[in-house]
Structure 1
Amino acid sequence: MTNQNVRLPQGTVKKTFKGYEEIHVPVPKKKVDPSEPGLMPTSALPAWARAGFGTSQSLNRIQTKCYPSAFEHDGNMLICAPTGSGKTNVAMLTMLREIGKHRDPNTGDINLDNFKIIYIAPLKALVQEQVGNFGKRLEPYGIQVSELTGDRQLTKQQIAETNVIVTTPEKWDVITRKATDTSYTNLVRLICIDEIHLLHDDRGPVLESIVSRTIRKQEQTGDPVRIVGLSATLPNYRDVAAFLRVDPAQDLHYFDGSFRPCPLRQEFIGVTDKKAIKQLKTMNDVCYNKVLEQVGQNKQQMLIFTHSRKETAKTAKYIRDKALEMETIGQILRVDAASREILREESEQVGNADLKDVLPYGFGIHHAGMSRADRTAVEDLFADGAIQVLVCTATLAWGVNLPAHTVIIKGTQIYSPEKGSWVELSPQDVLQMLGRAGRPQYDTYGEGIIITAQSELQYYLSLMNQQLPIESQFVSRLADNLNAEIVLGNVRSRDEGVDWLGYTYLFVRMIRSPGLYQVGADYDDDETLEQKRVDLIHSAAMVLEKANLVKYDKKTGRLQGTDLGRIASHYYITHNSMLTYNMHIQPSVTPIELFRVFALSEEFKYIPVRQDEKLELAKLLQRVPIPVKETIDEPHCKINVLLQAYVSRLKLEGLALMADLVYVTQSAGRILRAMFEIALKKGWASVAKDALDLCKMAEKRMWPTMTPLRQFPECSGEIIKKAERIDVPWQSYFDLDPPRMGELLGMQRQGRQVCGMVAKFPRLEI
């Protein structure tokens, strides 16, 4: 979605070169408002609240302006401000406001049993970062901060002891979909949603679902829940504020690019070459020129973001080799002998071969595939100024705070396993990477350079100049989200469904831009779009009924959930996948066929089989234990093979294939659990047993023929090999003492260790 008529700031310059063109956007001027009060010192906070701000002497401009509505009122808030401008501290003020309500002013004691605070961040890396940040700052109040994501579950006991839960949108949606967890969801008094501009993203419907459920419930029960939205700068912030029920006069705060701690000078480079190989060469040459200009002439450090792990090393080597060839390497390397010596010594210590190769020349690489030690070494060397150019993947932008004067985004296409193709970078990724440009303590401005194809130039120009409105993606997930509300008992009829739609961002946008959302002339007299909402709910209910997820009485409009609907809602399964499972899971289905049914899930419908993967897939097909009926050309075969390769712990080569494997296995747990529950509900014991076995195989990455000892990381490969070679049933292991165990395995010394591990297994008698 591009704004063709993007208005660029005054002073924008366009330059044309062979193979590409450049557009330079100047640094925005800081706006000075004479009536603006000075920065608020932290000493002006109540004495008990100062501990949350550590050694900070004052709030910044944004925090000072937001202070009255954040700390002195309880209204819902929306704060739109550039990345890195301190929005998190505004969230911190709202948290302290909530904590203060449960604090006894005489004793200073805080009643921790009366409230919970939820902080929602879009990525696990951000969740972990915020757990560390809030955990440290709220420690003086005795407040426990915990992470709740797909990787990290919390027990009921841990949840009871936690006051601030940092989680992802999907995880919080799943939790609030279950009526069983109300014991603590009813205690939630504040929800902070970071990056709420993700409403525009494929994951936007999840945020709409959470907010509409929260506000509707609050209006029905009267329990006060404050919602605080944090977002990047966007043009239609008033729409987002209306969706969050924010008072625009008091609690809506909008700050443009001039409020960035280090204003950004932007450069957009559109590559005009059409052939992929030429495009890549031009991009590499542009990177080399920019390194020479920024690092060589201006003596500034630089981050270059690429979109695959292999590309980090390829880019670093290309620039290094060209600098050697053109005899310009001396301009890039630091001249002092001490720096060169440090780089030489460090290059001998690191394990990664590519890093070893480029480090002596002042280049570094950084990606998630490197060892923790290598990544830390690179981070430290860059922070100390020894590495001049760091080529990395986006993980560095989200996880580690390493700013540089100049940031280049080299190419804007990334592989998306959900779509099964290469797609443009999401706006939040671009903003996050460019958020690393400029070091507030040293620079007056930072430089952000985006290198993309000529055809995408308009899109990034409008994105970076806050002219891309945020739209709703809710219609794409309407049926599944309606099902969740029906299962919860929040929507029991078509009319209640219409009411619920009135709480969504979709509703706000349909009223503002009817043309974009197929609201035709026949709805002109309908100011609240009631008939349009009736039509949407009716269509969604028909779809759900066809999949057996709800019972829908078209005459009375009554909506009633089913067991299958509950399974779909609790395991986050789409209605189309449920339709597939319903059709294929029969009483006679075999374990081999269950693998096939898994591969038919709608979640994987866009995963293609690429020409360059066929050879590797054919090899994998011969190595996996369960036969696959389809041929290698069919996507279902690929998904089946990937799941089995994951269980078998086989190594994969290609980048896209690895991304597909991660995507398939991330969804495997919940899909297989749902298949197990379907079989259980239908009363098919043997199918349920097979499905449960399949769940355990995927979770533990083990086949039934493997020894259960594989579940212990400390168990040596030698013991596992011996245990799998001898033909002794697992039950017999429980009856052996250490000497006999050692004898059985032919490893006398390890008998005691193996007995210790066996003793940890439960013995179930039924």
Structure 2
Amino acid sequence: MTNQNVRLPQGTVKKTFKGYEEIHVPVPKKKVDPSEPGLMPTSALPAWARAGFGTSQSLNRIQTKCYPSAFEHDGNMLICAPTGSGKTNVAMLTMLREIGKHRDPNTGDINLDNFKIIYIAPLKALVQEQVGNFGKRLEPYGIQVSELTGDRQLTKQQIAETNVIVTTPEKWDVITRKATDTSYTNLVRLICIDEIHLLHDDRGPVLESIVSRTIRKQEQTGDPVRIVGLSATLPNYRDVAAFLRVDPAQDLHYFDGSFRPCPLRQEFIGVTDKKAIKQLKTMNDVCYNKVLEQVGQNKQQMLIFTHSRKETAKTAKYIRDKALEMETIGQILRVDAASREILREESEQVGNADLKDVLPYGFGIHHAGMSRADRTAVEDLFADGAIQVLVCTATLAWGVNLPAHTVIIKGTQIYSPEKGSWVELSPQDVLQMLGRAGRPQYDTYGEGIIITAQSELQYYLSLMNQQLPIESQFVSRLADNLNAEIVLGNVRSRDEGVDWLGYTYLFVRMIRSPGLYQVGADYDDDETLEQKRVDLIHSAAMVLEKANLVKYDKKTGRLQGTDLGRIASHYYITHNSMLTYNMHIQPSVTPIELFRVFALSEEFKYIPVRQDEKLELAKLLQRVPIPVKETIDEPHCKINVLLQAYVSRLKLEGLALMADLVYVTQSAGRILRAMFEIALKKGWASVAKDALDLCKMAEKRMWPTMTPLRQFPECSGEIIKKAERIDVPWQSYFDLDPPRMGELLGMQRQGRQVCGMVAKFPRLEISAQVQPVTRSMLRVELTLTPKFEWDDALHGRAENWWVIVED
């Protein structure tokens, strides 16, 4: 992966110190092209389109160059440009182009029922930021912008009312995997994919899936869908353009580092110590030296990124303590008495103890574990210049736009719950963090400093100087993605599978560098790699058949989906997990065993049990209600305990354990729903009911023994406590009037409120008439009568029910 012979720009200097070495890369020179036209004023846009650009007077260099292909043509586009250089506005131009097609030039009315625009961003934080950004700018056109992520589902009606949907790649993949609901996917006319260089990441296959599905469908139906890719600068942009079917002469735009609004001076520091403790101390000392140099002498603000929440406070305290010891704190703090007073006052207001401790010295900390109020206070103090040094985690880089003259990335190892170990930071994280260096309105350049281990220095040098080509990771997910296409009916045979592979980025890269993708000499005379694709599809189909997800006829090549295949595709379950569920979910399975089956999922196979977590896990194991068969040394035990700890709302201590909990519970909803559907398809009523209960426990975070009143947001903790102390079955609550309810709970005043909640609790009265038709067939007529009060705020647009009929 590392490019050993990195060509570094002229003027690069290397310095060696005790314990580390520094490489300084100078600021790139702005290229001046005499033939380049001036910036395009926004007044040159059609009058109706100017509202989308608010008060800006002109487009910037990148937007001016992209304007003709973005706003005057309909071809697919790829724009490669540095972070923070205004690519989003190019996407905005393509949106306005689409909106313009549905606008009546005489009346100015826009026909909102005829089109949808999808904007795909890789992280929830970015999705929320773009919803705010586009929502404000498209408001003058009466266009609704909505977020669609794991956290935010939209009802059919909301989707119908929305024209611009901002979502994550996975979510859009799941939606387009469901063939039944094409009512609005057929209206999509424009898809913008932000950060398309993520093709290189573990999540890359999702992007390949979406793009190949879109282009193939477009060719089959003839409905035009425009795809616009936005990416950071990368060397093999022509490959990505070929994958997106972009016309390289007209619609491919590539801008290098000199187009950054605030050019970047880079420093790479490689720590030569091998021992972890020494490495950490050297990194801390380097941070201290840089703070003195930048904040002390040059009076510049600085962001320091660390990779765990605890580390933010440790780093801030280390630099502060060393400055106190060396008597240099006066150089770091602002001189004026007013800002010192502000810091002192604010430090009394904030809740976080570590923040209280460092604020008076001009240091701040910021991470997702802090309260919203504390984070906002820190953001405001930094923006006003009262805080000189802000130590934070990566969430700040992706969410809040707080630039600083200097950015330090301290250490490049980050904990990954999927892999269960520490891994190197992903390229897009590094680019995003360094994207915060330099404030365009004040600085002529920004400074980015990466502190890493000596062994990783080459990797970051080649990464930052755009010399690492982007590869396809599609083979790793080939079987699951093939299954999704079979379920959709897009691939019905081996030959159609081969055709589908021809639309992927994998295909583009296999042709460009066959050696990397095991395309050996046997395929030499096969120019379109047809045989290689046949082999890939054949082996993926065999894997899927083994897991009972498809039926595969090897002679004719026919591929046919199964019920299990449909469940796997709709709930995003891997074929190995389906194999496990199929084996373990039997008619006799108990609720206790269902927890265990959940823990066996392939999604969690890399989560280890660490030595330092065993004590905390042992404590949790005693506090969770469902017994666990395995011992504490086994990862399955840990996953089972984490799911139960989540349902029980227990507090966790360890950082890595917390990251694992979040990872396990993010997948819990869809995995448990899939287990429920498997039981349903097999026709096992009691197992299905147990699995459905388990789904609800995880979704509502409560056990069946707890009072259902917990599901009412307005129900006070006091009422819940009283209701769980008395041993009265839930059914009896429905017969009580307010005075008797108050008496039962020993809370006379609350009787009326509790009765109001009980009345809204969803329940049905079911009466059935059963008639035998033949010996093996019954006719069942059901009458369902709702016995509860409907409340839109509580029940939303609809309530779902499962009616289970068993003999």
Normalising by the smaller structure, the TM-score range is over 0.9
Q: Aligned-pair distance for 1:736?
A: 1.1
Counterparts of 1:458 and 1:687, CA distance in 2: 55
Deviations 1:281-304 (A, max 9, x none): 000000000000000000000000
Give the drift of 1:181.
1.6
Q: What is the distance in 1 between the residues matched to 2:478 and 2:31?
A: 43
List gaps (5 residues or longer) in structure 1: none
Q: Which residue of 1 aligns with 2:743?
A: 743
Secondary structure in 2 aligned to 1:678?
helix
Distance apart, 1:331 and its partner CA:
0.3
Distance 2:731 2:315 in 1: 55
Q: Give 1:731 deviation, angstroms.
A: 1.2
SS at 2:180 equivalent? helix
Q: Helix, strand or coil for the counterpart of 1:183? A: coil
Moved over 3 A (4+): none
Measured in 1, the distance between the counterparts of 2:757 and 2:347 equals 41
Deviation (angstroms), 1:737? 1.3
CA offsets 1:92-121 (integer angstroms, 9 cap, x no match): 000000000000000000000000000000
Q: Which segment is superposed worse, 745-754 or 99-108?
A: 745-754
| CA distance in structure 2 between the aligned counterparts of 1:342 and 1:721, rounded to whole angstroms | 43
3-state SS, counterpart of residue 340 of structure 1: helix
Give the Å deviation of 1:220: 0.5
SS at match of 2:721: helix
Secondary structure of the 2:3 match is coil
Write the distance in 2 (CA, Å) between the matches of 1:652 and 1:190. 44
CA distance in 1, matches of 2:181, 2:117: 15
* 1:764 shift after superposition: 1.8
The equivalent residue for 2:39 is 39
Most deviating of 254-263 and 714-723: 714-723
Deviating more after overlay: 743-752 vs 213-222: 743-752
Q: Secondary structure, in 3 states, of the residue corresponding to 1:629?
A: coil
Distance 2:139 2:466 in 1: 37
User: What root-mean-square deviation, in Å, do the aligned CA atoms of Structure 1 and Structure 2 show?
Assistant: 0.5
Instruction: Using the TM superposition, give the Cα deviation of residue 715 of structure 1 relative to its aligned residue in structure 2, in angstroms.
Output: 1.9
Q: In structure 1, what is the Cα distance between the partners aligned to 2:616 and 2:410?
A: 29
Q: In the aligned structure 2, how far is the partner of 1:81 from the partner of 1:688?
A: 51
Q: CA deviation at 1:536?
A: 0.1
Q: Report the Cα offset of residue 549 of structure 1.
A: 0.2
Moved more, 748-757 or 198-207: 748-757
1:126-184 residue CA offsets vs partner (Å, 9 max, x unmatched): 00000000000000000000000000000000000000000000000000000112000
Matched-pair identity in %: 100
Distance between the aligned counterparts of 2:763 and 2:82, measured in 1? 57
Shift in Å at residue 714 of structure 1? Answer: 2.8
Shift of 1:252: 0.2
Instruction: Give the drift of 1:713.
Output: 3.1
Task: Output the TM-score relative to the length of structure 2.
Answer: 0.95
Q: Distance in 2 between matches of 1:755 and 1:388?
A: 55
Residue-by-residue CA offset, 1:636-689 (whole Å, 9 max, x unaligned): 000000000000001111000000000000000000000000000000000000
Q: CA deviation at 1:690?
A: 0.4
Residue 733 of structure 1 deviates from its aligned partner by: 0.8
Matches within 5 A, 1:316-395: 316-395=316-395
- How far 1:198 sits from its partner (Å)? 0.1
For the residues of structure 1 that align with 2:400 and 2:760, how far apart are their CA atoms? 38
What secondary structure sits across from 1:331 in the alignment?
helix
Distance 2:692 2:400 in 1: 39
1:518-553 C-alpha deviation (Å, 9 max, x unpaired): 000000000000000000000000000000000000
| Alpha-carbon distance in structure 1 between the residues aligned to 2:129 and 2:638 | 35
Most deviating of 152-161 and 726-735 = 726-735
Post-superposition offset of 1:758: 1.3
Aligned to 1:419: 419
Deviation at 1:732, TM superposition (A): 1.1
SS in 2 for 1:239: helix
Q: Distance in 2 between matches of 1:488 and 1:763?
A: 36
**Partners of 1:752 and 1:57 in 2: CA distance:** 60
- Aligned partners of 2:656, 2:715: CA distance in 1, in Å? 32
1:467-496 Cα deviation digits (max 9, x unpaired) = 010000000000000000000000000000
Structure 1 residue 725 displacement after superposition = 1.0
Alpha-carbon offset, residue 739 of structure 1? 1.0
Q: CA deviation at 1:716?
A: 2.0
* 1:624-645, Cα deviation, whole Å (9 max, x unpaired): 0000000000000000000000
- Secondary structure class of the residue paired with 2:607: coil
Tell me the distance in 2 between the aligned counterparts of 1:709 and 1:307: 40
Cα shift at 1:503: 0.1
1:207 equivalent in structure 2: 207
> What is the distance in 1 between the residues matched to 2:93 and 2:363?
41
Task: Point out where structure 2 has 5 or more consecutive residues left out of the alignment.
Answer: 766-807
Deviations 1:284-328 (A, max 9, x none): 000000000000000000000011111111100000000000000
How many pairs does the alignment contain? Answer: 765
Counterpart-to-counterpart distance in 2, 1:747 and 1:454: 67
Matching residue of 2:772 = none
For the pair 1:609 / 2:609, whether they are aligned, the reply is yes
1:62-86 deviation digits (Å, cap 9, x = unpaired): 0000000000000000000000000
Partners in 1 of 2:370 and 2:751 — Cα distance? 36
Give 1:712 deviation, angstroms.
2.3
Q: Distance in 2 between matches of 1:453 and 1:756?
A: 62
SS, match of residue 184 in structure 2: helix
Greater CA deviation, 478-487 or 723-732? 723-732
SS at match of 2:554: coil
Alpha-carbon displacement from aligned partner over 1:169-213 (angstroms, at most 9, x marks no partner): 000000000011200000000000000000000000000000000
Write the distance in 1 (CA, Å) between the matches of 2:764 and 2:286.
65
Tell me the SS of whatever aligns to 1:218: helix
Q: Distance in 2 between matches of 1:446 and 1:476?
A: 38
Q: Name the CA distance, whole Å, in 2 between partners of 1:594 and 1:663.
A: 19
SS in 1 for 2:182: helix
Residue 504 of structure 1: how far off its partner (Å) = 0.0
Query: How big is the shift at 1:709?
Result: 1.0
* Counterpart position of 1:581: 581
After superposition, give the CA deviation of every residue in 1:319-369 in whole Å (9 maximum; x if it has no partner): 000000000000000000111111111111111111111111000011111
- CA–CA distance in structure 1, aligned partners of residues 58 and 752 of structure 2: 61
Paired position in structure 1 for 2:88: 88
Give the secondary-structure state (helix, strand or coil) at the position aligned to 1:467.
Answer: coil
How far apart are the structure 2 equivalents of 1:80 and 1:383? Answer: 30
Quote the Cα distance in structure 2 between the aligned partners of 1:764 and 1:14: 75
Give, in whole Å, the separation in 1 of the partners of 2:746 and 2:289. Answer: 64
Which deviates further from its counterpart, 502-511 or 305-314? Answer: 305-314
- How far the C-alpha of 1:759 sits from its partner, in A, is 1.7
1:685-716 Cα shifts (integer Å, max 9, x gaps) = 00000000000000000000000111123322
Q: What does the per-residue CA deviation read over 1:38-79, in whole Å, with 9 as the maximum and x for residues that have no partner?
A: 000000000000000000000000000000000000000000
Instruction: State the shift of 1:458 in Å.
Output: 0.6
How far 1:717 moved relative to its partner? 1.9
State the shift of 1:719 in Å.
Answer: 1.2
Equivalents in 2 of 1:295, 1:757: separation in Å? 58
In the alignment, the residues of structure 1 paired with residue 763 and residue 477 of structure 2 have an alpha-carbon distance, to the nearest angstrom, of: 44
Equivalents in 2 of 1:632, 1:336: separation in Å? 56
After superposition, what is the alpha-carbon deviation per residue over 1:352-395, rounded to whole angstroms, capped at 9, x for unaligned?
11111111100001111111111111111100100000000111
Structure 1 distance, partners of 2:214, 2:716, is 50
CA-to-aligned-CA distance 1:262-281 (integer Å, 9 cap, x gap) = 00000001111111111110
- C-alpha distance in 1, partners of 2:713/2:426? 38
How much has 1:516 moved relative to structure 2?
A: 0.2
Q: Which residue of 2 aligns with 1:553?
A: 553
> Aligned equivalents of 1:340 and 1:586: distance in 2?
67
Q: CA deviation at 1:753?
A: 1.6
Deviations 1:197-232 (A, max 9, x none): 000000000000000000000001000000000000
Residue number in structure 2 paired with 1:526: 526
**Post-superposition offset of 1:754:** 1.3
Work out the CA distance in 1 between the residues paired with 2:600 and 2:529: 38
2:181 & 2:445 partners in 1: Cα distance?
48
Distance apart, 1:734 and its partner CA = 1.3
Name the residue aligned to 1:68: 68
**C-alpha displacement at 1:421, in angstroms?**
0.3
Within 2, Cα distance between the matches of 1:762 and 1:585? Answer: 30
SS of the residue corresponding to residue 287 of structure 1 reads helix
Deviation of the 1:763 alpha carbon: 1.7
Please state whether the residue corresponding to 1:233 is helix, strand or coil: coil
